[in-house]
Amino acid sequence: MVDVNAPASADIVIVGGAVMGSSVAYHLASNPNFKGRVVVIEKDPTYTKCASALSAASIRQQFSTEVNIKISLYGISFLRNISEHLSIDGEAPSIDLHEGGYLYLETTPGAPVLTNTHQLQTALGADIVLYDQSALKQKFPWLYADDVVAASWGRTGEGWFDGWGLMQAFRKKARHLGVTFIDGEVVQIERSGARIEAVILKDGSRIACGAVLNAAGASGGRALAALAGLDIPVHAKKRCVFSFHCKGDVTDAPLLIDPTGTWCRPEGKRTAEGQQFICGGSPGEEDPDSQEFEVDWSLFEDIYWPSLAARIPAFEQIKPGRAWAGHYDMCALDHNAIIGRAMGYDNFYLANGFSGHGLQQSPAIGRGLAELLIHGAYQTLDLSALGHARVVENKPLHEANVI
Ligand SMILES: Cc1cc2nc3c(=O)[nH]c(=O)nc-3n(C[C@H](O)[C@H](O)[C@H](O)COP(=O)(O)OP(=O)(O)OC[C@H]3O[C@@H](n4cnc5c(N)ncnc54)[C@H](O)[C@@H]3O)c2cc1C
């Protein structure tokens, strides 16, 4: 049955109402130069399966490209000042931001990537410290570091937060500012030439639109682009996250990136009984596309736990906890987002392919896309390095620090 509450038209239709769709909606609605109608269409109002809800929700400045570093610098300032942006009637959202830092370890003599990217990061204003082996051992005495030649740690500006809280805060504020959220799935796109005329929902509702933004994530971003006649190189890749408890002394642990590709970070506060952690890792050679949510426990048993216990001896004694699987919307070209107007279209916009770093990027991407939609150009941070043109022209923007 057709949803009688669905509006017949909107100036901007956003498909996908998780962190990215809601951030763009908020940034549009809060811009005094914009008076148009924004409609967000979300197929799963429980939000339980979207990446935004299943994320490790961490933020780092330790990227290797200028645009990603600048995006995260804005991201951390937004998160620190979230009450200025997303409070409603004086009530501030709570996102439990904890700036514990990321710790990258380098075991290869020379360690050129670490030192080169460190120079770029600090030149742009990121607060990242380089350690040699002895300084590292002093700072983190619970770490096995005999094989480490250099390390970099985010003294401030990096850490973790409540990702679900951030998504809900964007949604609530966008709604408060007049954005309409509709439960529904876009199953068809009407197009004449370079122009998208309307989206059609599963229940048959038709919403005519001035512009359409694809914020449909790993579960729907590529399929939605295909409905508009566009192929984007964005693939759903399963990632499993495991939690465990450790009684041993691993005080002030950062988010550790082991040279094996395994990562771990504290979750919640340390108590007299010890500390909860979560961990995960990069896939091996095989990383098939996947839309299923089954946890692969052998990853924890065979790969993540052994590599973490070798790095942090206190982890030899742990109690495994719950685990879950979610999906990266991986950009096959270069593991970077595809942002902005789709080439060859007048009014079809992309916010896809975040490749595992979309939650921290949502403030800057939301702000930038709202500027582009309202003014036709970025006004603050130039995001054109992440534009669709690089995909069409096959010019990857290589990011060295992928997790
Ligand atoms: C295990 C894991 C760990 C991660 N860790 C981090 C991290 O530490 N830091 C970080 O920054 N990022 C991390 N990420 C990545 C981050 O979570 C994502 O990049 C980000 O949440 C993407 O947000 P999104 O709104 O674009 O997509 P999603 O959150 O996937 O939302 C897309 C929405 O679109 C809806 N949708 C799809 N198709 C349609 C349709 N046709 N019609 C209507 N609605 C539709 C879906 O239901 C969904 O709600 C992680 C991701 C995973 C899976």
Provide the sign of the torsion angle of the four alpha carbons 349, 353, 359, 360, taken in this order: negative
Buried b or exposed e, range 346-383, using 16+ CB within 10 angstroms: ebbbbbbbbbbbbbbbbbbbbbbbbbbbbeeebeeeeb
- Calculate how far, in angstroms, residue 115's C-alpha sits from the geometric centre of ligand 1: 32
Ligand 1 site, residue 279, Cβ cutoff 6 A: no
Out of 47, 219, 293, mutate this one to test ligand 1's pocket (max ligand atoms within 8 Å of CB): namely: 219
Looking at the DSSP bridge assignments, the partners of residue 301 are none
- At the fourth CATH level, the homologous superfamily of domain 9-70+163-233+333-392 is FAD/NAD(P)-binding domain (3.50.50.60)
CATH annotation of 102-156+237-327: 3.30.9.10
**What are the pLDDT tens digits along the chain (403 aa)?**
566 668 899 999 999 999 999 999 999 999 998 999 999 999 999 999 999 999 999 999 999 999 999 999 999 999 999 999 999 999 999 999 999 999 999 998 656 778 889 999 999 999 999 999 999 999 999 999 999 999 999 999 999 999 999 999 999 999 999 999 999 999 999 999 999 999 999 999 999 999 999 999 999 999 999 999 999 999 999 999 999 999 999 999 999 999 999 999 999 999 999 999 999 998 777 899 999 999 999 999 999 999 999 999 999 999 999 999 999 999 999 999 999 999 999 999 999 999 999 999 999 999 999 999 999 999 999 999 999 999 999 999 988 887 8
Q: Measured between alpha carbons, how far is 229 from 198 in angstroms, rounded to an integer?
A: 14
Out of 23, 24, 52, mutate this one to test ligand 1's pocket (max ligand atoms within 8 Å of CB): namely: 52
Q: Is the pTM above the cut of 0.95?
A: yes
φ/ψ region of 376 (left if φ > 0, alpha if ψ in -120 to 50, else beta) reads left
Q: Are 350 and 368 in contact, with CB atoms under 8 Å apart?
A: no
Ligand 1 site, residue 199, Cβ cutoff 6 A: no
Ligand 1 site, residue 211, Cβ cutoff 6 A: no
Identical topology for domains 9-70+163-233+333-392 and 102-156+237-327: no
Strands 206-214 and 348-352: parallel
- Calculate how far, in angstroms, residue 290's C-alpha sits from the geometric centre of ligand 1: 14
Q: Measured between alpha carbons, how far is 94 from 236 in angstroms, rounded to an integer?
A: 30
What phi, psi does 180 have (nearest 5°)?
A: -95, 125
Ligand 1 site, residue 183, Cβ cutoff 6 A: no
Give the number of the atom of ligand 1 that is nearest the alpha carbon of residue 47: 49
> Where do the domains of the chain lie?
9-70+163-233+333-392, 102-156+237-327
Q: Measured between alpha carbons, how far is 276 from 253 in angstroms, rounded to an integer?
A: 11
Neighbours of 294 (CB within 10 A): 9
